[in-house]
Amino acid sequence: MKKTSSGREVRAGRRTWTWAVIAMLAPVLALAQEEVPTLNAGDTAWMLTSTALVLMMTIPGLALFYGGMVRSKNVLSVCMQCFAIACMVSVLWTVYGYSLAFDTTGMEAGVLNAQSFFGGFDKAFFAGLTTDSLVAAIPESVFACFQLTFAIITTALIVGAFAERMKFSAMLLFTGLWFTFCYAPVAHMVWSGDGALMWDWGVLDFAGGTVVHINAGIAGLIAAIMLGKRNGYPATAMPPNNMAYTMVGASLLWVGWFGFNAGSAVAANGSAGMAMLVTQIATATAALGWMFSEWLSHGKPSVLGIASGAVSGLVAITPASGFVGPAGALVIGAVAGVVCFLASTKIKRALGYDDSLDVFGVHCVGGIVGAILTGAFAFPSLGGVWSPGEGATIASQLWIQTKGVLFTLVYTGILTAVILKIVDAMVGLRVVEEDEVQGLDIALHDERGYSL
Amino acid sequence: MKLVTAIIKPFKLDDVREALSDIGVQGITVTEVKGFGRQKGHTELYRGAEYVVDFLPKVKLEIGIDDGLLEQVIEAITKSASTGKIGDGKIFVCELEQAIRIRTAETGVEAL
């Protein structure tokens, strides 16, 4: 029943311990022939906590991180988008999302069928989920809620790309459709287990480098291009309205990410511990990487730079967190910090698209860096903690990781464009120029962010 | 009566206020403003996007005074607000037609 990409490895460990305990108590216990999944209180406590941490990453983490970066007339629109997405995705997850992502009916290792791409409706409305249902050693309710927080933050991340110019109604429609056709299927393909497309390929994605970051990142790029540049970009100055918010938001993201990465071990064990440690290492290294790059390039280090660097490190270590060791984390962090800096500054400016808050530059590019490097640094020869299967080599795994990246870019890229076209036809994507100039807070919500 | 308007650097406000108190000025109105003269702005950088910020923060003082005090006020402000560097500000002097104290309805110089 294990649903994580590290499933096989952890399951083996669990079985060994279970048998050891049973063997020791054999004279006392009744005959125990088969391993019965039982609830582990430690794992459950940790996963309950992780779920809360990951939700915090969106509200208020992302809301503050993004909110501080937009102009003051749009600060509430960002908060509204993040909050509304958290609510809407929760409902959709309940109705059919969890089922679409994690229903495994009809799936078989190595068999390619429709269920390799998306789950069925057997778990719609959480059918069959009771207080006693388990996934691994935790209640299924906790697992489902934990995964829900991932769905929430993935869809909320895209907000950064179309900030300051998208209609609220269009955003809700887009998010609902994108969650259905892009998030749930990709989560299914990478994480649902044997028979899933990318799981069977052997793609390593511990906590969502592909499912969350490359997915949201490419959607962000497509959205930024299709919605068009903000009125006056790039000639008009559009400085962040509250860098202190952004820094607080980035900090909440960092702390919450321990739940994101270490929680993806679905257990309170050594794997979670290592995931937490490598997360910290990569994040700090990436933050410094961006900071020094900016210092060299512009002459002064900035708060926005170091905060963005930290986020890029968090993104890059996400797929790697359960597989790499500290050495790998240092490399992944350093590369992500510098590469994402270039992607979000020089390259973005050179190519001319208005990805307002660098969803592509940080999340897609960072996710790609992390996903690819995971293929190398997971190996024990490079300090990794993964147990490669027979015949697996760095070269072969690098190719598998690349396949996963390319598939997601194409799949989500195309579908995002289609969904945006549909939503545009239904309600129109962008606000009118007058509303954009006045500011979305007043124009769309009749509210003022700051009454100073 | 004269209305003296002075644009000064924000950190000089306390010095100017003290200097004016010393010569007997009893009331000032202060506003935070932005502006530029010959002083250049500065650049700000946000993720690779460099912006030149032309408008600099300044403080504007408005003081209603009796004609007799004008020279002293100008000297007090000039001395206390000056740093010798570009951007020190300006003083404008206008004729003040009437002044009224709201509480007592006094007019003219008694209202200042």
From B51's Cα to the closest Cα of chain A, the distance in A is 6
Q: Structure tokens of A298?
A: 């512009």
How much is the pLDDT for A2? Answer: 42
In one-letter notation, the amino acid at residue B101 is: R
Q: Do A346 and B48 touch (CB under 8 A)?
A: yes
How much is the pLDDT for A291? Answer: 97
**B39: pLDDT confidence band, cut at 50, 70 and 90?**
confident
How much is the pLDDT for A1? Answer: 40
Q: Do A234 and B51 touch (CB under 8 A)?
A: no
Q: Do B47 and A345 touch (CB under 8 A)?
A: yes
How much is the pLDDT for A9? Answer: 40
B44 chain-A contacts, CB cut-off 8 A: 237, 239
Q: Per-residue pLDDT for A107 more than 90?
A: yes
Of A187, A126, A118, nearest to A151 (Cα)? Answer: A187
Interface of A with B (CB under 8 A): 69, 234, 237-240, 294, 298, 300, 302, 304-305, 308, 344-346, 348-349, 358
How much is the pLDDT for A4? Answer: 47
The average pLDDT across B97-110 equals 96
Q: How far is CA A376 from CA A282, A358, A396, B51, B97, in A?
A: 15, 27, 10, 41, 82
- Choose among B47, B50, B51: nearest Cβ to A304: B47
Q: Per-residue pLDDT for A64 more than 60?
A: yes
**A115: pLDDT confidence band, cut at 50, 70 and 90?**
very high
Q: Per-residue pLDDT for A439 more than 60?
A: yes
A302 chain-B contacts, CB cut-off 8 A: 45-46
B49 chain-A contacts, CB cut-off 8 A: 234, 238, 345, 349
Q: Per-residue pLDDT for A391 more than 50?
A: yes
Q: How far is CA A415 from CA A134, A159, B64, in A?
A: 34, 17, 68
Q: Do B53 and A237 touch (CB under 8 A)?
A: yes
How much is the pLDDT for B37? Answer: 84
Interface mutation vs chain B, best among A302, A303, A342, A356, most B CBs within 10 Å = A302
Interface mutation vs chain A, best among B46, B52, B54, B55, most A CBs within 10 Å = B46
A358 chain-B contacts, CB cut-off 8 A: 47
How much is the pLDDT for A25? Answer: 52
Rounded to whole angstroms, the Cα distance separating A148 from A338 reads 31
The average pLDDT across A41-67 equals 98
Rounded to whole angstroms, the Cα distance separating A120 from A116 reads 11
Q: Do B49 and A234 touch (CB under 8 A)?
A: yes
Q: What is the mean pLDDT of chain B?
A: 93
pLDDT: is A396 or A235 the higher one? A396
Max Cα distance, chain A (Å) = 80
Q: What is the mean pLDDT of chain A?
A: 93
Q: Per-residue pLDDT for A233 more than 50?
A: yes
Q: Per-residue pLDDT for A41 more than 70?
A: yes
Q: Which of A2-6, A94-98, A165-169, A414-418 has the lowest mean pLDDT?
A: A2-6
Residue A11: is it exposed, middle or buried by C-beta count within 10 angstroms (0-12/13-18/19+)?
middle
ipTM summary value: 0.73
Rounded to whole angstroms, the Cα distance separating A416 from A414 reads 5
B56 φ/ψ angles, rounded to the nearest 5 degrees: -105, 145
Q: Per-residue pLDDT for A109 more than 70?
A: yes
Dihedral, CA of residue A199, residue A205, residue A206 and residue A209, to nearest 10: -140
Q: Per-residue pLDDT for A16 more than 90?
A: no
**B41: pLDDT confidence band, cut at 50, 70 and 90?**
confident
pTM of the model: 0.88
How much is the pLDDT for A12? Answer: 43
From A259's Cα to the closest Cα of chain B, the distance in A is 28
A349 chain-B contacts, CB cut-off 8 A: 48-49
Interface mutation vs chain B, best among A66, A247, A298, A365, most B CBs within 10 Å = A298
Q: Per-residue pLDDT for A27 more than 60?
A: no
Q: How far is CA A336 from CA A78, A316, A367, A369, in A?
A: 26, 6, 9, 6
Q: Do A305 and B47 touch (CB under 8 A)?
A: yes
Q: Do A349 and B50 touch (CB under 8 A)?
A: no
Beta carbon pairs, A and B, within 8 Å: 32
